[in-house]
Structure formats: C-alpha cells, structure tokens
Amino acid sequence: MAAATAKTYPNAIAGGIDLGGTKIEARLFGAGYQSLEATRFPTPTDTVETFLQALSKAIRWLEETSGRGSRLPIGIGLPGIINPFNGAAMAANIPVTGLDLPAAIARKIGRKIPLINDGQAFALSEAHGGAGLGARSVLGLIMGTGIGAGHVLDGALPYRRNIAGIEAGHLGLPAPLLERHGLPIRPCGCGRKGCFETYLAGPGLRRICQHKLGHALPPEDLGAAVANGDPAATGVLEIWAALAAELLLTLHLTLDPDCIILGGGLSQLPQVTDHLARAFTRVRLGPMALPDLRLAAHGDSSGARGAAILAVQEAAKE
C-alpha cells in the first residue's frame, strides 16, 4: 500500500514511475535527481481498468506530494513496447497488450505523460550519474519479474522506431543449452516459446530450482542458501549464470558496449557479478574484450529516475 505523507516538496523537479509486474513504484526527485520520497502500489493484473486506477493513484500521489500538482513533470517507465503509429502496447507482465496506452493514461488523468521502456529508463539513469558514468556505450540489463535492457550512447538514447528498449528477454534461448542442463522449452508470456525470460527472470529461476532441487525456492532463499555454501543451491545459480552468459554474449556481439549495468531483484544474488563474469568468460568469442559487469548505482530507484530524466527533457521541449 502507498505510504501516507503530509510533507510536500515544492522544490521537486520531477516524478518518475517504474511499472513492474508486481509493483508500481512512484518516486519524487529533487536537484541532481536525488530521491526525495517514494511509495509503491501493487500492480493489478486482472483488468485494464484496475491497472489504470492504480497507475492514476501513483500519478496523483506524485502531484500531491510535490505540491506542484499537474505542473510536475512525470515520466513512466514500462516493461514492453508501444506502436508509434497507433499507441498499441504489448507487455508480458502487465495487462495493457493491445491498448492505446498513452491515450488511455491521458484520458484517465487529464494530461499527457511521456512513456519510456523500463530498460531504456534504467540505462538512461545509470549513464547519468550512475554506474555507467564515464562510459560512452552503456547497456542496462534488468533481471527481475521479467528481463529487459536498454542502451545509451554518448549520454543519449539512440533512435528506436518503437517506444521500446532492447527486448532481450524475448530473444530465444539456444535449445542445445537447455538440453545440456535438462531444462524443457517453456512458453513465455509474450506468446512465444523458449525465450530467455522463461528461465532468467525471477519466476524462471524458481523453475530451475524446481527441476534441480525438487522445490521452487524464491530467489532470496536460494541466495541465502548459496551464501551458506549449499552446493546444490550453488549448482542452480551456476546453471542460471550459464544461461545468462549466453544472453550477455548476444548483447555484447550486437552492441559491443563498454559496460553492462545489472539491475532488478536478481542482481542482488550473492556475488552475482562474479558468477556471471566467470560464465561470460567461458563463452567469449576469441580475443574480444568483454564489457565490464557492474551493479546499478541507483538500485531500485534507477528505473523511476530514468523516467524522471525523460520527463524533464520532454518538458524542456514544450
């Protein structure tokens, strides 16, 4: 539930909303995009209307908490893509597929809100005062309820025809790799089969646990078992890292970034960068220099922070 607050922040410069499959996070930012206040709402997944109601509450909370009302620039990061011609959205983890989402939000709250793919928002945040500071080519990879990515080049979002990030979670896992680890090809929420997301996202890691341990451990419990030296749990994490390394390799070979910034709940697994770096090194192509693997500097706030950066940029154009 949203936390009530009587304090307002008239010096707030923007608000950002990070839409996820389990929560809607609203965060208010001040100078330098420092977080001032935040709250979360559960993400309804039953109907479009309940989803829009929850999103509207998050927007109103930002307007009221800032004390600036509709004058506050607000941006929304979402996991999915939007058709640039008719506004139709597609997302695997929120109930908006087929909906003209920009228009629906505008009708609900009475003003237009800029939208950005959550992977792009994450990368934009980390490239501006985050873990990607100083790098020319920054790739952000979110591993949470779903898998998403974004790319920033020389501090700016490269042109993408759709309002989309890099839909890395919906690239196909190599079937021989699944066979090697005794994992079946599974259907994905996007409608395809065998996507990386089916095993790399949080629910996917649970599936690996089910197959290898006989029960579906939550990621945090698996992490605790790994930290305590449990060999079976460590084996599960190594399988997950081997699958993730194939995705890292694909992104490396196509975009060749200076660094890959890891975010989302699974980036908090114990020694995750070490596990991934070892697996990544095993699949590298010849002598190619691999990108640095880094943890997000702004943690859970990075997606909302990137959306707020976009909101300020868009407001400056008006």
Q: Is residue 5 part of a domain?
A: no
Q: Is residue 284 part of a domain?
A: yes
Instruction: Name the residue among 212, 144, 216 with its Cα closest to residue 183.
Output: 212
Q: Are residues 75 and 190 in the same domain?
A: no
Q: What's the CA gap between 164 and 18, in Å, rounded?
A: 15
CATH number of the structural domain spanning residue 83: 3.30.420.40
Q: Is residue 127 part of a domain?
A: no
82 strand-pairing partners: 89
Q: Are residues 281 and 150 in the same domain?
A: yes
For the entire predicted model, the pTM comes to 0.88
Q: Is residue 289 part of a domain?
A: yes
How many CA atoms are closer than 13 Å to the CA of 33, on its beta-carbon side? Answer: 26
Q: Are residues 242 and 152 in the same domain?
A: yes
CA 61, distance to chain mean position in Å, is: 22
Structure tokens that stand for 277 in this block? 């770096």
Q: What's the CA gap between 170 and 186, in Å, rounded?
A: 12
Q: Are residues 309 and 285 in the same domain?
A: no
Structure tokens that stand for 232 in this block? 């079976």
How many domains, in total, are found in the chain?
A: 2
Residue 271 belongs to what domain range?
Answer: 135-296
Taking residue 108's Cβ as centre, other Cβ atoms within 10 Å add up to: 15
| Torsion sign across C-alpha atoms 159, 164, 168, 170 | negative
**Residues contacting residue 263 through CB under 8 Å, at least 6 positions apart:** 122, 126, 140, 141, 142, 143, 144, 295, 296, 299, 302, 303
Q: Are residues 142 and 281 in the same domain?
A: yes
Q: Are residues 226 and 165 in the same domain?
A: yes
Q: What's the CA gap between 209 and 220, in Å, rounded?
A: 12
Q: Are residues 63 and 147 in the same domain?
A: no
Q: Are residues 163 and 279 in the same domain?
A: yes
Q: Are residues 168 and 235 in the same domain?
A: yes
What are the DSSP calls for 101-147, one per residue?
Answer: HHHHHHHHHSS---EEEHHHHHHHHHHTTSTTTT-SEEEEEEESSSE
Q: What is the mean pLDDT of each run of 10 residues along the chain (318 residues)?
A: 68 94 93 94 93 96 96 92 87 85 94 92 94 96 91 90 86 96 94 96 96 94 94 97 98 97 94 96 95 93 93 89
Q: Is residue 7 part of a domain?
A: no
Q: Is residue 128 part of a domain?
A: no
Q: Are residues 163 and 272 in the same domain?
A: yes
Taking residue 260's Cβ as centre, other Cβ atoms within 10 Å add up to: 25
Structure tokens that stand for 143 in this block? 């591993």
Q: Are residues 148 and 290 in the same domain?
A: yes
The predicted structure's pLDDT at residue 5: 56
* Residue 152, H or E segment: strand 147-153
Taking residue 70's Cβ as centre, other Cβ atoms within 10 Å add up to: 11
Q: Is residue 129 part of a domain?
A: no
Taking residue 170's Cβ as centre, other Cβ atoms within 10 Å add up to: 22
Tell how strand 115-117 and strand 74-78 pair up: parallel
Q: Are residues 140 and 247 in the same domain?
A: yes
| Torsion sign across C-alpha atoms 298, 304, 310, 312 | negative
Contact 173, 195 (CB under 8 A): yes
Q: Is residue 265 part of a domain?
A: yes
Structure tokens that stand for 223 in this block? 């992490």
